[in-house]
Amino acid sequence: MFRNQMPRFEVLSEGALETVDRGWRRLVSEIGVQFDHPRALDLFRAAGCEVEDTLVRFDPDFLVEQAAKAPREFDMRARNSEHDLHIGGDSMIFAPTQGPPFVRMGGTRRDATLADLQRFIMLTQMSPELDTPGGGICEPNDTALDSRHLAMNMSLILLCDKVFEGVPMSEVAAADSVRMGEILFGGREAIEERPVMFANVNVNSPLRYDVRMLEAMLEFSAANQVVMVTPFLLMGAMAPVSIGAALAQQTAEVLAGVALLQLVRPGAPVVMGSFLSSTDMKSGAPAFGTPESAIGLYASGQIARRIGLPWRAGGGTLTASPAVDAQAGYEALNTLMSAFLAGANVVWQSAGWLEGGLVACFEKFMMDVELLKLLRVQLAPTVIDEDALAFGAHKEVGPGGHFFGCEHTLAHFRDCFYRPFLATTDNFDRWSGKGSPTAAVRAEGLWREALERYEPPPLDDGVREELLEFVERRTRELGDDPIDLGIPPQAPPAAAA
Amino acid sequence: MFRNQMPRFEVLSEGALETVDRGWRRLVSEIGVQFDHPRALDLFRAAGCEVEDTLVRFDPDFLVEQAAKAPREFDMRARNSEHDLHIGGDSMIFAPTQGPPFVRMGGTRRDATLADLQRFIMLTQMSPELDTPGGGICEPNDTALDSRHLAMNMSLILLCDKVFEGVPMSEVAAADSVRMGEILFGGREAIEERPVMFANVNVNSPLRYDVRMLEAMLEFSAANQVVMVTPFLLMGAMAPVSIGAALAQQTAEVLAGVALLQLVRPGAPVVMGSFLSSTDMKSGAPAFGTPESAIGLYASGQIARRIGLPWRAGGGTLTASPAVDAQAGYEALNTLMSAFLAGANVVWQSAGWLEGGLVACFEKFMMDVELLKLLRVQLAPTVIDEDALAFGAHKEVGPGGHFFGCEHTLAHFRDCFYRPFLATTDNFDRWSGKGSPTAAVRAEGLWREALERYEPPPLDDGVREELLEFVERRTRELGDDPIDLGIPPQAPPAAAA
């Protein structure tokens, strides 16, 4: 796990922070937040909040008190203890993109399938830079909708031993996800003691939680699993066209959701989510990797630290580009670098995101893993001690010489610098001789090779059987025919297509 | 001009800074710096330094005293006073790439020509994000070597009214550059009063200044023009494979050069240059946009502020990529963002750099101008006041609504967000319908269109005549035939090729 020991990049003055504070307080008390679920309304009513139809108006201080019940930092348990996670403080974890209905592979764009999802899970398992696969790295469109969550969870468990995300799409999906966590980790008590899965829920911004999200939130928090409450704000669409207003709204929405979860289970682990970008005001299309999105990240980090909650930054390696081109390169780095600078604890959408999130792209996935590797080196503490001065090298080389063959270079050349796996330093002749492959073309070779090397993590036979039986039974109960996941025990599935 | 009012990103502890301090002090006093010019050696000898053959060993405190004579901040005069520059403090200026022998245009790579240089100068004149063209944005290989500096300077003056760089390649080139500045600005006294041109000189690292660089440095500083003393350090080649060692060496080299210039003319304006990256230790090729290069930038900024000199960051929008692809996108942003974070005052190589600096690329130029525009918005102060909270918009829209048509959006949609000129937010169908143009393809259209709109800046007829006569006479004196620059008075040259 990466520890972010660098200075935080803070752009809001104390005065600006106080203005945002006044903003969310006014929103929750004067306008209120809509909750489309009777249990949520009951909980708020019982806690003394003003409930009118489905609209809840809050005393702002009540929300602050509830947020204070959530842990500032907490641990999560992975099947492989080497992949246990610490959330909050200066720790930073990364997950690939989540949710795209399409994939892009070798320049072809098409509907995503379960086999694609499995490929992405395998690549995540093989990438030390990714701490969790999350859940639906892409949407397995070729599986039945009602039982899709079972195929997704089972693929995650069979192919990866990192903490994963349960499926928060409905009460049924949430309950089945929690049950599979119980089977995998030895029962309800075990997973309540230390959470084993995430659930990211997006607010129906502005200021509304719909019934499906609420059902899932209540289910996961009751089981003490980690709920990330994430307003998805495209300014101009789900928020006003002003960063200040969007930050106030984001804070209001997060605090209202977090308060509900603390009423369900005081002390339940939560993450303040954020996903703030702008709309292209000419076309109405979402824009990513923009200045406003970066400023939103810097500011959200400050607000999260002020509130005292672990913070999920959106994103990621975001881009609106439809191709793995120069725009995709700089927009992705701009959001990812900003997430580091802002001190994010959880970064979803860190590998594979393309075309404004509609596409999970295999080549972009590899590029993004390179960016993660690179920034983890770049933003690690720089130690300069007497030894680092290498005075002996200067004595050996002297004015006008070169350091290629000197003793200090020979002793350190293997590990003195970051070694990229995607970036090339080939000269023009060498590069032309290889057919002038762009970064996107090289990336295709890299993921295909990686999948050839994939090995599934071990899983206890009894646990595997119990999970497979559960999935088969629940699939039938939900009215679908059980499917072959295409994952033989202890052997890799057919890799590259 | 951009004022960088954001927090500086500082990565070196006080202890690390002191270690670098000890490092350069030991280098200059125990190893020394080689100066291949009798006048330089005389000046150092007269100042009491220990001179042995061409090697000068310094009392470190003497170097600190000399550096203190240089101004911490100063102004430069442009022909168009709207383009006057302030160097140092929180001001930041940007120049395009300098020196590549090749150009890349629409996917074709070939030798650079004078016409290419002129196109780049025109694009610089049209880009408010670029404060100066520098000088040789690419190398005009089709001009005679001895008189090339005359063709370059004349093109710069005819096509652009921003501060430019004189040619520092030899004593003759430097003297002619200064003389042209005198003609343009009304005499020696005028340009000595307020400098009108830059000269960037690269140290022959490690620890050596060669005769040509010294001749140019002495000439420019005698005329009170701005000399940027820039160690060009690729760790593994011109410096040890250690950031600490490279920083100590860089500081030693800069301070020795700056001391010489202060002996020539106390108070002469200088810029501490830096250009620090790593070598690919497998191939020996230079690498750019790397973590080491970014760390070098953060650290160099801290050192420059400690010394109290304006600081030139290298770079820029650097990349080792041979194509305008995803690698070029993220490497360029990584160096440019780092230069902003590090608080650079002068950023050379900010537009067009490709293939490790061997190529000036027209498409990359446009991409880089987009990055400059974007970061200037992203890294400007965020003001959040009561008005920015847009509470009225929330009252109008309410929970679950959208902000597309609300009053606040209609009032602000034109200027609320950064509007990219290269990045696309087109959806897949629209983008495919246009032929799936990557950022590089779109960039080609942009620079060709821009050149069609170019208009040359006004220039006094008498001054123009005097300059043209000077150039013609000097070209003959240097043994070459005068050439037609292809720039008719007050009319644009043939633009796109």
Chain A residues whose beta carbon lies within 8 Å of the beta carbon of residue B391: 23, 26-27, 245
What digits encode the pLDDT tens for the residues A123-135? 999 999 999 999 9
How open is the CA angle A216-A220-A223, to the nearest 5 degrees?
145
Of residues B330, B384, B395, nearest to A332 (C-beta): B330
**Among A277, A299, A274, which residue's Cα sits nearest to residue A289?**
A277
Report the distance separating Cα A230 and Cα A253, nearest Å.
Answer: 8
Residue A425: phi and psi, rounded to 5, are -115, 15
> From the CA of B493, how many Å to the nearest CA of chain A?
30
Cis peptide before A357 (omega within 30 of 0): no
Which residues in A236-352 belong to E strands, given as ranges?
270-273, 275-279, 286-287, 311-313, 346-347
Distance from CA of B360 to the nearest CA of A (A): 14
Give the pLDDT score at B217: 96
The rounded distance, in Å, linking the Cα atoms of A33 and A47 is 15
Test B286 with A425 for CB contact under 8 angstroms. Answer: yes
Assign A489 a pLDDT band (cuts: 50, 70, 90): low
Residue B486 has what pLDDT?
86
Q: Looking at residues A272-280, what average pLDDT do you find?
A: 96
Structure confidence at residue B139 (pLDDT): 98
**Residues forming a β-bridge with B105:** B108
pLDDT tens, residue by residue, A448-466: 999 999 999 999 999 999 9
A126 Cβ partners below 8 Å, 6+ apart?
A450, A453, A454
Kindly state whether A256 is in contact with chain B, defined as any CB-CB distance less than 8 angstroms.
no
According to DSSP, residue B413 is labeled: T
Q: Amino acid letter at A23?
A: G
A462 by Cβ neighbours in 10 Å (0-12 / 13-18 / 19+) ranks as exposed
Task: Assess contact for A34 and A54: CB atoms under 8 A.
Answer: yes
Strand partners, A286: A279
CA dist., res. B76 & res. B192, Å (int)? 11
Question: For B14, which residue in chain A has the nearest alpha carbon?
Answer: A384
How many CA atoms, within 13 angstroms, populate the side-chain half-sphere of residue B359? 25
- For chain A, the first-to-last Cα distance in angstroms comes to 32
A357 lies within 8 A of chain B by CB: no
Angstrom distance (rounded) from CA B5 to CA B3? 6
The residue written with tokens 């420059």 in the block is B304
Q: Which positions in chain A touch B432 (Cβ < 8 Å)?
A: 322
Determine the pLDDT at residue B489.
59
Number of CB atoms found within 10 A of residue A142's CB: 15
Q: To probe the interface with A, which of B208, B241, B249, B280 has the most A CB atoms within 10 Å? A: B241
Mean pLDDT, each 10-residue run in order, chain B (497 residues) = 96 97 98 98 98 98 98 98 98 98 97 97 98 97 97 98 96 98 98 98 97 96 98 97 98 98 98 96 92 97 98 94 98 98 98 98 98 98 94 97 95 94 96 98 98 96 97 98 81 47
User: Considering the entire predicted model, what is its pTM?
Assistant: 0.97
Q: What is the tally of helices (H) and strands (E) in chain A?
A: 17, 20
The structure tokens listed for B75 are: 């102004």
Q: By the 8 A CB rule, do B260 and B217 touch?
A: yes
Delineate the domains of chain A, giving CATH numbers in brackets: 1-381+420-497 (3.20.20.480)
Angle of CA points B396, B401, B402, to nearest 5°: 90
pLDDT value of residue A495: 47
Question: What's the first-to-final CA gap in chain B, in angstroms?
Answer: 32
- In whole angstroms, give the CA distance from residue A422 to residue A435: 16
- Classified as helix, coil or strand, B94 is strand
What is the overall mean pLDDT for chain A?
Answer: 96
SS3 (DSSP) at B15: helix
Which residues face B199 on adjacent strands? Answer: B227
Q: Exposed, middle or buried, B332 (CB in 10 Å: 0-12/13-18/19+)?
A: buried
Q: Name the closest residue on chain A to residue B26, using Cα atoms.
A: A391
